[in-house]
A and B are shown apart, each in its own frame.
Chain A
C-alpha cells in the first residue's frame, strides 16, 4: 500500500518559493490501477517523483508497504526503488550505448542477482512485451513503441509491487499508445499496482480510479467532473 498524508513539496531559490504539493494526501491500495490527471504545473509529476523516491518531500508522511520512507538512508531508499518500484518514463530513458538485453539488465545488476537468474528474468520480461527477437538491438534500432516496451520490460524484470508511469504514451502514436495501455492493463491484472500520470483523458479512463490534482492537492469532487472540465477547457 502507498500512503501519503499531508505531503508538501516546496522548491526554493534565493528569491522564489514554489509550492509543488500542498498537504497532499492519497492512499493507493494493492493491485489498483490509478491514473493521476490535472493541468500542467498542478504537481502530478512531483507527486510521482516523491512516490518513486526520486525526490525528497518537504513535510508530511509517506509510507510505502508500511515503511516510513523518511527514515530510510540512501542505500535503503535505493533498495526500495530497486525492489518495489518500476518506472516508465515518457521518453523511455533507455541507455543508448547498451543493447536491449543490457538495458533490462541494469536494475537487476543492482539487485545482486546471479548471471543465470538475471538472464532468465530478462528473457522472460522481454518475451512478455513481445520483443524476444530484438535482444541484441540497440535502442536506436527500435521504434518508439518498441522502445517503450523495452522500458516496460526493464521495469517488470525486477517484479516490482508498484509501477509508476509518467506520461507513458506521450511520445507514441495512437496505435502504439493503445498497445502500451493494453500491456499495462495486463500487468495490472497480474497483480502489479500501477500509478500513471497522464494528461490524456482517454488514457486516464483506462485506469480503475482517477485522481485529479490541482494546485498541488488532490482535488475534491467526482473525478468525472474534473475530467469533463479538463476536456471542456
Chain B
C-alpha cells in the first residue's frame, strides 16, 4: 500500500498544484530560516577534537588578584603566565603537554622580486601536533629535543607551502623569517578546526596559523604575543622583556594530555601542590582554584557560542512555527477540497487508519519537497550572512553546511510537515462519508 499511497500523493499534489506549492514554500521558508541559524550554531558549537575529549585538558591556575577575581564570582584566569607555563611544562608530569601563544612573523621568500609578508603564527611545543592530531601532508612536527636545543625549525600550513614552494615537498628546505633561517620539518595538510579549540581566547573562529615554530625559540627571540594579554599586577618599570616574563600577566595557553581519570586526578594533585608551593614564595594569593577542562567543557566555559545565537535560534524556530501554522491552514483547505474523494474512499472500504496513512504519506512527500527547497533556502540564508559580515574573515568558516545539517533539514521538514498534517488529517479521517456523498 505504501507505493499506492505514494502514487495517490503524487496525483493529489498534481491535482492541487497551487495549494501544494504554497505548502512546500511555507515549509521551505521556515526550514531555510531555521536551518540557517542552526547551521551557524552547529558549526560554532562543534567539537573538532571530540574523539580525544576525555584525554585533553586545558590548564587553569588562579594566580589572580586576591581582591578582584579574574571573572565573577570566582572564575580562574583563562591563560597562564610564562612563569607557570615554563614550570608546569618543565615538570613534565603529563603524558603529553604543550604551551603555545599567538605571534606574528615576517616571511622573507627567496628571489629578488619576492616581497616579505606577515603571517599569523603559533609558537608552540613538539607535542602540539600529536596531541591535537594535526594531519601532515609532508614530514612531521619537530621532536622534543628541538624544543630543548632551541632548534630553528618550522611547520608550514598547506596554503603557505603552496605560496612559498608551489606545493612541493618542502621538508628540509630553509626559509628566512625575521632575518633568521628556519628549516622546514613538515607541512600540515588542510587543518581548520572550527572552533579553534586550542585557543578560544583569541577569536575561536579566525583562520588557523600558517606557521608553527618552537615555543622556546620564540621566548629566546623575544617574539611578541599577538593574542590577548591580561595583567593584574603592574610590571616594574625598566624591567623590559625579563620583567614581562617574570610577571603575573597571563598570555599563554597550556594543554595537557592525560590518558585516564586516574592520571587526571594525579595531575590535579600535582597542580594543587605546585600552587601551594608558589604560595610559600608569595604568589597565588587567592584560594586554590585550579581546573582541568576538556575541550567540550572549555568551549562551554568560554561561551564560544554567544547567547545572541541562541536568541536568534529561538526566533528562527518561532518563525518555523508560524510557517507551519500557515501550512496547517493550507492543509485544512486541501482537506476540505478533497472531502468528496475521502468520503468516497470511506464508502469503498477505506478505514480511518488507511486514510490516515494515505494523508500522512502525502504530508511526508510535501515535507520532503519542503526540506529540499529548504536546503536551497538555507544556502541562500548562509550566503546572506556571509555577505552581511563579509568584513570578518572568519565568517566563511561558520556558513558551511555539512551533510549532517542537510539530513537534519530534510528530517526537520518531514517532521514539521507531519506535525502540521496531524490535525487536518484527523479532521479528514473523521468525515462522515454520507455528508459529502449526499451532495453529489
B350 x A54 contact (CB < 8 A): no
Within 8 Å of chain A (Cβ to Cβ): is B11?
yes
Whether B351 lies near A55 (C-beta < 8 A) is no
A75 contacts which chain B residues (CB < 8 A)?
351, 353
* Total chain B interface residues with beta-carbon distance under 8 A: 27
Q: Known contacts A54-B433, A54-B437, A93-B437: does B349 contact A111 (CB below 8 Å)? A: yes
User: Which chain B residues lie closer than 8 Å to A54 at the CB level?
Assistant: 343, 346-347, 432-434, 437
Interface residues on A, range: 20 to 34
**Are the CB atoms of A110 and B434 closer together than 8 Å?**
no
Q: Which residues of B contact A91 (CB under 8 A)?
A: 440
The one of B12, B349, B353 in contact with A81, judged by C-beta atoms closer than 8 angstroms, is: B349
Closest CB-CB distance, A78 to chain B, in whole Å? 4
Q: Which chain B residue shows the least CB distance to A46?
A: B434
A90 & B11 in contact (Cβ 8 Å cutoff): no
CA distance A110 to B345 in the complex (A): 9
Q: Nearest chain-B residue to A158 (Cβ)?
A: B349
**Residues from chain A with Cβ under 8 Å of B351 in the complex:** 74-75, 78-79, 110
Q: Which of A71-114 contact B (CB under 8 A)?
A: 74-75, 78-79, 81-83, 87, 89-91, 93, 95-98, 106-107, 109-111
Q: What's the nearest-Cβ distance from chain A to residue B93, in Å?
A: 71
Closest to A74 in B: B352
| Max chain B Cβ within 10 angstroms of own Cβ: one of A75, A79, A95 | A95
Known A74-B352, A91-B440, A95-B341: A81·B14 in contact at CB below 8 Å: no
CB-nearest residue of chain B relative to A80?
Answer: B349
Q: Which of chain B's residues have a CB closer than 8 A to the CB of A97?
A: 11-12, 14-15
Chain A residues contacting B112 (CB-CB under 8 Å) are: none
| Contact between chains at A49 and B349 (CB < 8 Å) | no
B4 within 8 A of A: yes
Residues A107 and B349 in contact in the complex (CB < 8 Å), given A55-B432, A97-B11: yes
Query: B206 interface residue, CB < 8 Å from A?
Result: no
In the complex, are the beta carbons of B350 and A110 less than 8 A apart? yes
Q: Is B51 an interface residue (CB 8 A)?
A: no
B1 at the A interface (CB under 8 A): yes
Q: CA of A83 to CA of B1 in the docked complex: distance in angstroms?
A: 18
Are B437 and A110 in contact (CB-based, < 8 A)? no
Confirm or deny: A52 has a beta carbon within 8 angstroms of a beta carbon on chain B. yes
| Count of chain A to chain B residue pairs whose CB atoms are closer than 8 Å in the complex | 71
Is A226 an interface position by the 8 A CB rule? no
Name A49's contact: one of B14, B348, B350, B438 (CB within 8 Å).
B438
B344 touches A93 (CB 8 A): yes
A121 to B48, CA, bound (A): 62
Partner pick for B354 among A45, A90, A110, CB 8 A cutoff:
A110
CA distance A96 to B14 in the complex (A): 12
Known A97-B11, A97-B15, A109-B1; contact A89-B349, beta-carbon cutoff 8 A? no
Interface flags, B317-330, vs A, CB<8A=1, else 0: 00000000000000
Contact A78 B440 (CB under 8 A): no
Please, how many angstroms separate the alpha-carbon atoms of A96 and B352 in the complex? Answer: 22
CB pair B11 A82 closer than 8 Å: no
Contact with A along B416-439 (1 / 0, CB 8 A): 000000000000000011110110
A103 to B212, CA, bound (A): 73
Are A83 and B437 in contact (CB-based, < 8 A)?
no
> Which one of B4, B15, B341, B438 has the highest number of Cβ atoms from chain A below 10 Å of its Cβ?
B438
A154 close to B (CB within 8 Å): yes
In chain B between 121 and 162, which residues have their CB closer than 8 angstroms to a CB of chain A?
none
- A50, closest chain B residue (CB): B434
Closest residue of chain A to B439, judged by CB? A91
List the A side residues contacting B15 at CB < 8 Å.
Answer: 96-97
Bound-state Cα–Cα, A98 to B341, Å: 11
Q: Which residues of A contact B346 (CB under 8 A)?
A: 54, 78, 81
Q: Which of B12, B345, B353, B434 contacts A106 (CB 8 A)?
A: B345
Give chain B nearest CB distance to A219 CB in angstroms: 22
Contact A87 B440 (CB under 8 A): no
A158: chain B residues at CB < 8 Å are 349
Asked if B434 and A95 sit within 8 Å, CB to CB, the answer is no
* A96 CB to nearest B CB, Å: 8
- Tell which of B341, B350, B437 touches A78, judged by Cβ atoms closer than 8 Å: B350
Flag if B11 contacts A98 (CB, 8 Å).
yes
Within 8 A of A (CB), among B4-47: 4, 11-12, 14-15
Kindly identify, within residues 29 to 73 of chain A, every residue whose CB is under 8 Å from any CB belonging to chain B.
Answer: 45, 49, 52, 54-55
In the complex, which of the residues B14, B349, B353, B432 contacts A82, with contact meaning CB atoms closer than 8 Å? Answer: B349
Cα-based distance from A87 to B4 in the complex (angstroms): 22
In the docked arrangement, what's the CA distance between A89 and B350, Å? 17
Residues of chain A within 8 A of B349, CB atoms compared: 78-79, 81-83, 107, 110-111, 158
Using an 8 Å CB-CB cutoff, how does the interface string of B344-380 with A read, 1 for contact, 0 for none? 1111111111100000000000000000000000000
Set of chain A residues within 8 Å of B1, measured between Cβ atoms: 109
Which single member of A49, A78, A83 contacts B434 (CB below 8 Å)?
Answer: A49
Interface, chain A (partner B; CB < 8 A): 45, 49, 52, 54-55, 74-75, 78-79, 81-83, 87, 89-91, 93, 95-98, 106-107, 109-111, 154, 158
7 smallest A-B Cβ distances: which pairs? A82-B349, A78-B351, A54-B434, A91-B440, A49-B434, A110-B349, A55-B434
- Which residues of chain B have a CB within 8 Å of any CB of chain A? 1, 4, 11-12, 14-15, 340-341, 343-354, 432-435, 437-438, 440
Q: List 12 A-B contacts (CB under 8 A).
A: A54-B434, A54-B437, A55-B433, A74-B351, A74-B352, A75-B353, A78-B354, A81-B348, A87-B348, A90-B440, A95-B341, A106-B348
| Extra A-B contacts (8), CB below 8 Å, given A54-B437, A78-B346, A83-B349 | A45-B438, A52-B347, A54-B343, A74-B351, A79-B351, A97-B11, A106-B348, A110-B349
